[in-house]
Amino acid sequence: MSHSTVTKSPPETGPSKTWTSTGRNKVTSTDALRVVILVTSALLALIPIVWLVLGSFKTPAELSERPPTLLPESWGLSNYTEAMTRFDFASYLANSVIVTLAATLLTLAINSMAAYALAKYNFRGKNALFLLTLATIMIPLQVILLPVYQVVASLGMVNTLWGLIIPAAATPTGVFILRQYMLSIPDELIEAARVDGAGEFRIFFRIVLPMCRPALAVVAILSIMWRWNDFLWPLVVAQSEAVYTLPVALARFTAEETVPFNLIIAMSVVTVLPVIILFLFFQRQIVTGIANTGIK
């Protein structure tokens, strides 16, 4: 007798445990093949990053060796210290952190509000506005760089951290994801709250938003990734070292006449690891969140 599980839990594959057999312990060839494929793919996903980290400990001479050595000779942090002393690392790091956190909070707030309107209300211009939102995903920054700068300048936000935080906060993808998720929230809950006399914003804040935690987690990690890696915009808006972010430092190294590859690798690791670590902490939430944006 097989136990069929309902909805969200995955279908059991392979022979299930019946009271007459322990069939579950048999490993079939399909199982083995599947594991091989998955592990190989996982390696493919991870190896470049591992290689990057290993390389960050190698000296320039080691890096130019042929064939390339696997492990560094020493785990000294010289590349890191040299890279970080070439510029005011602490300041750049602080800016990156501040901008990323503030922008993400702002993004979560305004994206969820906009998504709520688009998902749960019926009003004139709704579809047009949604289409407009979708359309703005398709505009790469390079294209509108100068006009955006002019707007920011006329608002006096140049060379300020606000100039880095605000313009990028209205992410269309964030709205898209949150809206998809909110569509699946039962309207009855909202209606019931209305009947109980709750104000619209209260409903949004107390009822809907807490239910959206997975989607919020997704938008959060995406926003963190985008703002942390943002390079072109901070470069143009920031005018003094006091406002630069980490990617600008990386770009500076890459643009030097004699490119210090070992420093670039170290800086790359510094820009890559924090986001990955953050993701690993909040994996569960994030993965569930993405999971619920695809359906319907």
Closer Cβ to another protein, 33 or 77, answer by number: 33
Residue 154 makes contact with another protein by CB under 8 A: yes
Integer Cα distance of 118 and 129 in angstroms: 8
Residue 120 makes contact with another protein by CB under 8 A: yes
Residue 74 makes contact with another protein by CB under 8 A: no
Closest approach of another protein to the CB of residue 184, in Å = 9
Integer Cα distance of 57 and 65 in angstroms: 14
Q: And the tokens for 40? A: 């190989």
**Using the rule CB under 8 A, which residue among 20, 48, 90, 210 binds another protein?**
48
**Using the rule CB under 8 A, which residue among 22, 29, 66, 197 binds another protein?**
66
> Footprint of another protein on residues 218-237 (CB under 8 A)?
221, 225, 228-229, 231-232, 235-236
Type of residue found at 166? I
Report yes or no: 164 and 92 within 8 Å, Cβ to Cβ: no
- Other Cβ atoms within 10 Å of 283 Cβ, number: 12
Closest approach of another protein to the CB of residue 95, in Å = 14
- DSSP-derived 3-state class of residue 180: helix
Closer Cβ to another protein, 188 or 196, answer by number: 188
Closest approach of another protein to the CB of residue 13, in Å = 5
Question: Considering only 15-23, 72-80, 96-104, 272-280, which stretch makes contact with another protein by CB under 8 A?
Answer: 272-280
Characterise 20 by phi-psi region: left (phi > 0), alpha (psi -120 to 50), beta (else): alpha
Check the CA dihedral 177-179-183-185 and report its sign.
positive
Residue 268 makes contact with another protein by CB under 8 A: yes
Residue 32 makes contact with another protein by CB under 8 A: no
Residue 160 makes contact with another protein by CB under 8 A: no
Please state the length of the chain. 296
